[in-house]
């Protein structure tokens, strides 16, 4: 039962963190960059189905330059570190 709880909480954290990172960035975009973002239906598919993998795609899509790749990789790695540490913490608690 503990493994199921850990899986559900990990999936929820992945969705929430991805949602937060992408929405946070979308609030800072202006003009053409904002129009290049995910359409609403595609946004939810990307966040729920692909999770953190959609973060670099979002940054590359909106900026279309090297800074988009760098920001995307930075946020992707940061998100994965947080998810990994939370997974270790949950595993330790649920032992």
Q: What is the pLDDT of residue 6?
A: 84
C-alpha Rg value of the chain to the nearest Å: 15
Per residue in 7-64, pLDDT tens?
888 899 999 999 999 999 999 988 888 889 889 889 999 999 999 999 999 999 999 8
pTM of the model: 0.87
- Residues 16-43: b if buried by 16+ CB within 10 A, e if exposed: ebbbebbeebeeeeeeebeeebbeeeeb
């Amino acid at each position: 039962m503990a493994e199921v709880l850990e899986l559900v909480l990990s999936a929820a954290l992945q969705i929430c963190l991805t949602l937060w990172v992408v929405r946070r960035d979308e609030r800072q975009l202006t003009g053409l960059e904002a129009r290049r973002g995910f359409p609403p239906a595609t946004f939810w598919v990307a966040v729920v189905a692909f999770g953190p993998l959609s973060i670099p795609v979002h940054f590359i899509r909106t900026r279309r330059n090297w800074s988009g790749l760098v920001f995307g990789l930075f946020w992707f790695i940061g998100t994965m570190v947080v998810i990994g540490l939370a997974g270790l913490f949950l595993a330790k608690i649920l032992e």
